[in-house]
């Protein structure tokens, strides 16, 4: 549906339902969305997520089971949330964090 090959999203999510589908499809196996957020450690707002970029490691990400492709999908999902819900207090920072995670994982 939304997922394409080689880390691409064929259609940007246009609704919160599509965002939810993309997020669920991109979770590491056996992990709930809340557990994923806790393991990533993105905090409660954009500032927390941006700050987390300073300490995030490839080892943490691989232990979670996150791939570069999945991190990219999460970034796309949070970018869509930023567009659909501009007052969301954490979407912009989480999108940036997940783009950073994808970049880290690509180099691994």
Residue 58 makes CB contacts below 8 A (sequence gap 6+) with 104, 105, 107, 108
Distance (Å, whole) CA 42 – CA 49: 4
Q: For the chain, what are the domain ranges? A: 16-107
49, 94 Cβ separation under 8 angstroms: yes
φ, ψ (nearest 5 deg) of residue 42: -85, -5
pLDDT attached to residue 108:
62
pLDDT in tens, 6-21: 445 557 899 999 999 9
Instruction: Return the closest-CA partner of residue 79 out of 103, 30, 71.
Output: 71
| CATH class of the structural domain 16-107 | few secondary structures
pLDDT in tens, 23-67: 999 999 999 999 999 999 999 999 999 999 999 999 999 999 999
Distance (Å, whole) CA 80 – CA 86: 9
Distance (Å, whole) CA 97 – CA 44: 13
The neighbour count for residue 69, using CB atoms within 10 Å, is: 18
């Amino acid at each position: 549906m939304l997922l394409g090959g080689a880390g691409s999203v064929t259609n940007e999510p246009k609704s919160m339902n599509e965002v939810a589908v993309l997020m669920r499809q991109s979770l590491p196996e056996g992990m709930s969305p809340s557990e994923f957020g806790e393991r990533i450690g993105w905090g409660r707002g954009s500032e927390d997520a941006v700050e987390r970029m300073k300490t995030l490691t490839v080892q943490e990400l691989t232990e979670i089971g996150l791939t570069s492709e999945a991190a990219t999908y999460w970034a796309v999902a949070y970018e869509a949330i930023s567009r659909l819900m501009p007052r969301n207090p954490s979407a912009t920072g989480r999108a940036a964090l997940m783009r950073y995670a994808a970049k880290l994982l690509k180099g691994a």
